Structure 1
Amino acid sequence: MTVLTVGDKFPAITVPVQQGVSALPAGETLNLGDTGGKWKIVFYWPKDFTFICPTEIIGYGDLKSDFADRDAVLIGASTDTDFVHFAWRKSDERLANCDFPWIADNKKELADALGIIAKDAGVAYRATFIVDPHNVIQHVTVNGLDQGRNPQETLRVLDALQSDELCPCNWQQGEEVLKPAA
């Protein structure tokens, strides 16, 4: 299985999602092929009710409005069910406040299509995809199961991608970009 990469189309499938804690899951879905003209930040974690995963989800959740300011929607995912997502959110107020859709990929259809299943563990790696408004993958990172990500770095990379410029190492929005001599 090969991980989808930069330039590949993100799978345009409809997936089950869970969002919020006001009502039990009722079969809500999300069509990943419908971009609405926005960028997507899709990030997978291995399992609900674990230790590293909530730190990442909360880290991304803290930046939700920053992503929205950049015309990007935040979408979380794991191979758990919508009911497990709901129970985890209900059990932790910090996760309940992470108000963005969580893909319930318990059939592993999307994770398989993306090529991010850790075969021995049977769960998804910590994978992050930045997808442009044309549903084309522009950035991918995949971490092992025991290493957390830096959501701020995802935001920085999105800024660089949206600048359409040559951005040097550690470039931050507002800094000078590289201008090759003519």
Structure 2
Amino acid sequence: MLTVGDKFPEFELTACVSLEKGREFQTIDHKTYEGRWKVVFSYPKDFTFVCPTEIAAFARLNEEFADRDAVVLGFSGDSEFVHHAWRKDHPDLRELPFPLLADPRHELMRALGIEDEDGYAQRAVFVVDPNSEIQFTMVTAGSVGRNPQEVLRVLDALQTDELCPCNWNKGDATLDPAALLAGV
């Protein structure tokens, strides 16, 4: 699996971006959001149980990610048509403010090293900086949903470019190594 310090792989995928007729799909590639922070999360598959809870939680925080110049992108191995059908079917997914990328050939999940032995994407998240370098990764068991609030907290810490202690939150003091070494 790719990790902190690795370049996020190049990709070109079709995404379900809307339920509006004629505007449902868009091609998104590694250059679409060039120069911005990206929060890319994968999930095993559509029409499941844990996945929509996470997707909806990321959607509720979308404005907060956007306030930090970060774009949220979700993806699985399902096609854009399955994403569209699921969004139409599931009330929590109808108004998603971010794209669901379709990776039916599993190219992105393989490049990231998160294709599980069952052929589905692992439940992973990558925070990618404006230079396309991975700054944070997390994978949970398929039965355990992620905490998008924690991903936002980590993004805040990364964007300080300072040392952030355990449980640091935006607005908290960061660590000053010189003061710590001097015993201040």
Give the TM-score, by structure 1 length. 0.94
CA pair 99-66 structure 1, distance change in 2 beyond 3 A: same
Counterpart secondary structure, 1:103: strand
- 2:161 corresponds to which residue? 164
Post-superposition shift, 1:32? 1.4
1:14-72 alpha-carbon deviations (Å, 9 max, x no partner): 11211111126776210113433210000001010000000000000000000000000
Q: 2:10 aligns with which of 9, 12, 23?
A: 12
1:134 maps to what in 2?
A: 131
Cα distance in 1 between the residues matched to 2:67 and 2:25: 29
Q: Secondary structure at the match of 1:29?
A: strand
Structure 1 residue 181: Cα displacement: 2.3
Aligned to 1:100: 98
Q: Which has the larger radius of gyration?
A: 2
User: Structure 1 27/74 Cα, relative in aligned 2: closer, same or farther at 3 Å?
Assistant: closer
1:77 and 1:103 in contact (8 A); partners too: yes
Of the three residues 141, 144, 152, the one matched with 1:144 is 141
Q: Between 18-27 and 6-15, report the one with greater CA deviation.
A: 18-27
1:55 aligns with 2:47: no
Counterpart secondary structure, 1:181: helix
Match of 1:37 among 28, 35, 38: 35
CA gap of 1:66–1:27, structure 2 versus 1, over 3 A, is closer
Among 115, 118, 130, the residue aligned to 1:117? 115
Q: Which runs of 4+ in 1 moved over 6 A?
A: none
Other-structure match for 2:20: 22
Sequence identity percentage: 51
Q: Deviations over 1:147-177 (max 9, x none)?
A: 1100000000000000001000000000011
1:85 is aligned, of 83, 86, 90, to 83
Aligned residues: 179
Q: Aligned to 1:33, what secondary structure does the other structure show? A: coil
* Structure 1 residue runs without a partner (length 5+): none
Q: Would the aligned equivalents of 1:131 and 1:138 in 2 still touch at CA under 8 Å?
A: yes
User: Where does residue 71 of structure 1 map in the other structure?
Assistant: 69
Of residues 27-36 and 137-146 in structure 1, the stretch that sits farther from structure 2 once superposed is: 27-36
Contact 1:11 1:33 in 2 (8 A): no
